Structure 1
Amino acid sequence: MIEIIISVTFLIIVGYLIAKNYDAKIILFLSGLTLLYASVMMGKPIFQEGSTGSIWLDPFKMATNVFTMQMGIVGLTIMVLFGFANYMNHIGANDAMVHALSKPIKKIKSVYILVPIVFLLGNALQMVLPSAAGLAILLMATLYPVLRSAGMSPLTAGAVIATTATITPTPLGSDNVVVAQRLGISSLEYVMQFHAKVSIPALLAMAIAHLLWQRYMDKRQGTIHVPFEIPHSADEKNQPLPPSWYSIFPIMPIILLLIFNLGFIDSQTQKSTINIGLVEITLISIIIPMFIELIRKGDIKQSIKDFNLFFEGMGQGFYQVVSLIIAAGLFVEGLKSIGVIDLLTNSLNNVQGAGSILMLFFSGMAALIGFISGSGIAVFHSFIKIIPEITEQMNVNTVLVALPMQLTANLIRSVSPVAAVIIVVASTLKVSPIEIVKRTSIPVFTGIFVCLILSYYFFG
């Protein structure tokens, strides 16, 4: 009983501090160490084998183990993807892609037909720019003026942009990489076999909900749609856009991933004859534009200097994501060492419908803390490590619990008034974050509902 009290107390404290905008990774890391020491003081050994020889030093040995494990292929993959995105942004490839997508959008005259189209196109852009806030900044600077010039109301355009980085089924997503590693498969296999079955129908449902809800809210607020002339062109920048064919560079890893995994299938084994990982594919995808930049600009020194942004992006990936995974991993080790995971597993072992209970429990936790703190990803990373252990002991499909929690954690961000993406859009429109949340709420909760239903249908 004391284990449950301690664990629940720490979960409440951690959730409260994250909600108060304390750094999630620091809170999780320190909480993990504290839980490990609480375990030691309760006479529960952290290691059965491989101890330092002193129970008081074992928590730091566990921290080292977590660092070593998370800095492996998953951590490296995430860092390389961040580096790739940073370089693509610098050479203007992301801007070129948005510019290419903006051209057909300008030709669509119906404002409300634009809503689902822009929503789905914006989510597709998440494949090349995974940061929700970063994507919102880019789209508010480039796509928002196009939507306003087409006659779309500011709040409708803002709401669509605020929900563009949600649950895109991309093998390049850091959360997809993490889940796939836990399942022992590649991120492409995870996306194609599990994620896309749920996320694509959910995105389509959200697109329809957006159309109906934005039209209702515009009518309710008496919005009149008239073309709005933007004083400056959306493409007008201090620096000119690169050639339009640069728009292919951001999606090159996805193209190569599909080619290597689907284009070299052995007819007998039905498996790819090329064994290449996402890190290698991303490195290939960044070397090609680097040489093209060198040829196009003819400045060797500057091209080499620009490529350094790849490594700076890797550092950002460690700071923003990998460090959070490490901290969350240590927190989970603390919960495991104190025994609460075993208690949870044993208590649900003989319960009918334990899979649905676990699904709702973990998804609900991600939704609650995500709404309060602006991100459910910290909660997701905290528990993705132990979800396979719990589900295997209870004979429950791991995907049934992990997938809806992952999707809920990503979706809930767009209805939290303290989320960075909401604040970016609200500050640009000079309105309260609550006004944006009112516009995003129905589409987001529609997405969450569809994700839960389909996850249970396919994997329950």
Structure 2
Amino acid sequence: MVEIIISIAAIILLTVLIVKKYNTTIALLFCGIILLAAAVILGHPVLDTETSTGFVLLDIFKNIETAFLSQLGNIGLTLMTLMGYSTYMTYIGANDKTVQIMLKPLGKIKSKYILVPIIFLLGNLLSLVVPSASSLGVLLMATLFPILTRVGMSPLTAAGIIATTATIMPTPLGADNVIAAETFGMTILDYVGKHAAISIPSILLMAIAHYLWQKYCDKKDEAKGTAFKTELKGLREDLPPIVYALLPVLPLILVIVINLGFPSLKVGLVTITFISLIVSIICEAFRRKDIAKVTQDVQEFFKGMGTGLASVVSIMVAATVFVNGLKALGIVDMLMDSANGLKGAGIIMMLAFSGITFIIGLISGNGLSVFYATVGLIPSVAAAASVSPAMIALPMQMIANLVRSISPVAAVIVIVASSTGATPVQLVKRTSVPIIVGTISCLVLSFVLLF
């Protein structure tokens, strides 16, 4: 009973810290250490005898070391190389070139409401190249927003579409997908395949919802004559040649080609990313004709890897420590025992994990922190409930990505709203219905396809 009270208190403390915008990594690590310390005081081992230092208090900190060692292996290195590659693509202008080419045909479409679902779907495709919601928001506000307003689309409609673009597009390069696949012992394509079966229909339903909702909101707002001033920058002027547009999606192309065309080859994402990097460096060498400068620019790749370590891998390490604390107190075993034999346990767990993610994501603007913190628990909980881990993880993961588009404090909402001159609440009104439709769709399809 004491263990349950301590765990609930730690979870509440973690929630409060995240909501109050404390650093997620430090919040997870702090609460994890509290749980481990409580386990030691109550006489529970926090490490097995083979790993233990021989002194229980030191085992708390040894736990942090083992978490780093486990997460900096394949999964951590994969995430770091992918983020390094994305950073390098931005630095050499390849991302901007891809965006420029994809946006070019839009100027020929004159019907503003036909553009609503088209832009939403195109934005989701662009999220494969620029996975960060806030970064994609900045980029599309600078490049796409002026085009949309020029063809007569209202600023709030354009902003509402842009704020919902980076949500649940299935990609084997996504950090959350990589983490989940590794944790569940699945291949990345298998996991993304399950993801796509749910996310693609949901995205299409969201596109329809956008069309109907934005049209309805515009009609209601017409009498007000609301207009917003914008001061937006365009794409950089020193864009590279057209072939560079393929470079940001080259890892994605290689993943699909190798896994589908040459299934006997055992090539991981790290190898594929470095192949793509070498191809990019060769392209830069031909373009710049200055080998020394090109080699210096490659440093941006390693800076991006460092950013990946600081922004994602560190959260995974801290989340592992937190989960280890819950395990040491026996909470995971209690959850498994509770789920065993419970009728409908899989559905209950799916709704519980998704509900917590939605609430914290709505309040804090960052639902993925909850996903990263709890993904390590899902395999054992799912096994006890006799369901696939994907049934619990996928709706939770998708809701974590969707909910930020209706959180007034989320970075993408604040950025897009401030760029148009609207308030975050005004923008959230435009994003609310499509996101709610997407959320319900993800839950229903997860139950239908995975239960």
Settle same-fold status: TM greater than 0.5: yes
- Equivalent residue, structure 1, for 2:173: 172
Whether the 8 Å contact between 2:199 and 2:442 is mirrored in structure 1 is yes
Report the alpha carbon displacement of residue 244 of structure 1 after superposing the two structures with TM.
Answer: 2.2
- Equivalent residue, structure 1, for 2:69: 68
Report the alpha carbon displacement of residue 185 of structure 1 after superposing the two structures with TM.
Answer: 2.2
- Equivalent residue, structure 1, for 2:160: 159
Encode CA deviations 1:373-395: one digit per residue, 9 max, x unaligned: 11111110111111101111332
- Equivalent residue, structure 1, for 2:384: 393
- Equivalent residue, structure 2, for 1:269: none
Whether the 8 Å contact between 1:423 and 1:433 is mirrored in structure 2 is yes
**Whole-angstrom CA distance in 2 between matches of 1:275 and 1:397:** 25
**Whole-angstrom CA distance in 1 between matches of 2:323 and 2:113:** 45
Within 5 Å, give how 1:107-186 maps onto structure 2: 107-186=108-187
Encode CA deviations 1:377-433: one digit per residue, 9 max, x unaligned: 111011111110111133222111111111111111111111111111011112211
- Equivalent residue, structure 2, for 1:242: 240
- Equivalent residue, structure 2, for 1:251: 249
Encode CA deviations 1:319-340: one digit per residue, 9 max, x unaligned: 1111111111111111111122
Report the CA distance shift for 1:361/1:428 in structure 2 as closer, same or farther (over 3 A): same
Whether the 8 Å contact between 1:140 and 1:425 is mirrored in structure 2 is yes
Report the CA distance shift for 1:334/1:231 in structure 2 as closer, same or farther (over 3 A): closer
Within 5 Å, give how 1:36-435 maps onto structure 2: 36-50=36-50, 51-192=52-193, 194-222=194-222, 234-235=234-235, 237=236, 239-264=237-262, 272-435=263-426
**Whole-angstrom CA distance in 1 between matches of 2:174 and 2:303:** 19
Amino acid at match of 1:12: I
Report the CA distance shift for 1:230/1:385 in structure 2 as closer, same or farther (over 3 A): closer
Secondary structure (helix, strand or coil) at the match of 1:44 reads coil
Amino acid at match of 2:254: L
Report the CA distance shift for 1:223/1:421 in structure 2 as closer, same or farther (over 3 A): farther
Report the alpha carbon displacement of residue 349 of structure 1 after superposing the two structures with TM.
Answer: 1.8
Amino acid at match of 2:342: V
Secondary structure (helix, strand or coil) at the match of 1:56 reads helix
**Whole-angstrom CA distance in 1 between matches of 2:272 and 2:45:** 42
Report the CA distance shift for 1:26/1:230 in structure 2 as closer, same or farther (over 3 A): closer
Whether the 8 Å contact between 2:79 and 2:175 is mirrored in structure 1 is yes
Secondary structure (helix, strand or coil) at the match of 1:352 reads coil
**Whole-angstrom CA distance in 2 between matches of 1:372 and 1:422:** 13
**Whole-angstrom CA distance in 2 between matches of 1:146 and 1:163:** 18
Report the alpha carbon displacement of residue 232 of structure 1 after superposing the two structures with TM.
Answer: 9.0
TM-score by length of 2: 0.96
Encode CA deviations 1:117-174: one digit per residue, 9 max, x unaligned: 1111111111121111111111111111111112111111111111111011000000
Report the alpha carbon displacement of residue 279 of structure 1 after superposing the two structures with TM.
Answer: 0.8
Q: CA RMSD in A?
A: 1.9
Amino acid at match of 1:361: A
Amino acid at match of 2:76: G
Whether the 8 Å contact between 1:149 and 1:229 is mirrored in structure 2 is no
Report the CA distance shift for 1:245/1:367 in structure 2 as closer, same or farther (over 3 A): same
**Whole-angstrom CA distance in 2 between matches of 1:208 and 1:4:** 45
The runs of 5 or more residues in structure 1 that have no matched partner are 265-271
Secondary structure (helix, strand or coil) at the match of 2:43 reads coil
Whether the 8 Å contact between 1:143 and 1:234 is mirrored in structure 2 is no
Amino acid at match of 1:167: I
Whether the 8 Å contact between 1:153 and 1:225 is mirrored in structure 2 is no
| Matched residue count | 450
